[in-house]
Structures are given as structure tokens and as C-alpha cells.
Amino acid sequence: MPSGAYNVVAALSWPAVFGAYRLDARGLDHLPPDGGFVLAANHTSSFDPWPLGMPLWPKRQLYFMAKAELFYPVLGHLLRGAGAFPIRRGERDLEAVTTAVEICRRGDVVAMFPEGTRRSKGLVKKHRHRPRTGSARIALTAGVPLVPAAIKGTDRLARLARLHVAYGEPVPMDDLEPGTPHANQVATERLMERIYELHAEL
């Protein structure tokens, strides 16, 4: 169940997300009904976690990686309460990966943005940007589904543009051997292809 802090943020956000921005959510039936999984989406705005996570609330909470610099007294406590955990950006942070794997294995959802930093002009095509393989690595290591999602509209918040999110079926990974760079890369390529397809359908 979502934490108290997460519930407060979600409740306060509900009128804006579903009222002002009229969030349209598709493919909720593709999400695993039980157990943990990794939910991976494109990234264009700091507001992306809201359309990605709100359709799952109040049944499920999303857990996010956030840069370690934000975890100072007071703010750090609030971030943890809302489901964030620290990662040292630009480094191979094994502690963050281990935390994400543990979250998935206990039955919760870890949200990831394989593109890494935000993209101001919407979805970046694969030939222009190499996505990070962390989402696939975590899902393969934890033995949980890797679910693609696409978000649209968060780059036009000032215009009150309608928000859209689409969830896809889990990426097939039964043929991949966990713990190998090759498996992580192949799973990531499959993931991004599906994210692009979902985005094109919005």
C-alpha cells in the first residue's frame, strides 16, 4: 500500500492531473495485477511521474530514483516518504540498483526513465540517443516483468494540454540470461521499441 506521504501528494495532485490536465490513461489491463515490476517510460518533463503513477493510485505506489544531492535534511525525509531513493548520477551506483531490486522483489513498482535526462522536444529517436540499460538490468536481476509506458503532453503544461499515458504489455525476456550485458542491452532495445510504438499511438 502507498505510504502516508505518497497518499498526501497523490490526493493533492488529483484535481490538477485529472481535472485541469484531463489525464487519459490507456492499457491499465497490461499491468501485472500482483507482484513487483519495473515500469519504464520516456522522459520529457519533471512532471512525468504524475501521469505515470496517478492511474495506479491508490492501489499501487511508484518508487523512483532521485539524485543523491536532494537527500539533505528535511527534504530527504520527505522524498523517502514519497517513495524516492538516492542515486549518485554519473556513477555506477550499485547501492541504488540493489535497492531497486529489493523493492521489486518485495512486490512493489520501480519507475525508470531509460532516456536519463529530460528531453525538451519530446521523444528522442533511438538513433540519436543511447538509452540506459538500468531498467532492464533491474528487472532481469529481480526476476520481475519489465513494463513499457509512454507519456505525452508534459512538455505543454503551461498550455493546459491534455496529458496522455499508455501502458504496454511486459517486454518478453524469457530467452535472456540475467546478469549479462548482452541481455541487458537486448531487453533495453525491445523496451525502447515498444515505448516508441506506444508514444506514436497517443
What is d(CA 79, CA 101) in angstroms, rounded to the nearest whole number?
19
Given a cut of 70, whether residue 90 has pLDDT beyond it is no
User: Rg of the chain's alpha carbons, rounded to an integer?
Assistant: 16
C-alpha closest to that of 135 among 46, 195, 74: 195
Q: What is the pLDDT of residues 15-47, one digit of tens each?
A: 999 999 999 999 999 999 999 999 999 999 989
| Predicted pLDDT at 88 | 73
Q: What is the pLDDT of residues 185-196, one digit of tens each?
A: 999 999 999 999
| 95 alpha-carbon distance from chain centroid | 18
What is d(CA 151, CA 9) in angstroms, rounded to the nearest whole number?
20
Q: What is the pLDDT of residues 43-84, one digit of tens each?
A: 999 899 999 999 999 999 999 987 777 777 777 777 777 788
What is the H or E stretch that residue 86 is in? strand 84-87
| Predicted pLDDT at 75 | 72
Residue 43 · residue 122 · CB < 8 Å: no
What mean pLDDT is reported for the chain?
A: 90
122 pLDDT band (50/70/90 cuts)?
A: very low
Instruction: Take residue 42 and report the three cell numbers written for it.
Output: 520516456
Residue 35 · residue 175 · CB < 8 Å: no
What is d(CA 120, CA 116) in angstroms, rounded to the nearest whole number?
12
pTM: 0.90
Q: Give the start-to-end residue ranges of the domains of the chain.
A: 4-201
| Predicted pLDDT at 116 | 74
Q: What is the pLDDT of residues 124-179, one digit of tens each?
A: 444 446 899 999 999 999 999 999 999 999 999 999 999 999 999 999 999 999 99
CATH superfamily, domain 4-201, is Glycerol-3-phosphate (1)-acyltransferase (3.40.1130.10)
What is the H or E stretch that residue 98 is in? helix 94-105
Residue 179 · residue 195 · CB < 8 Å: no
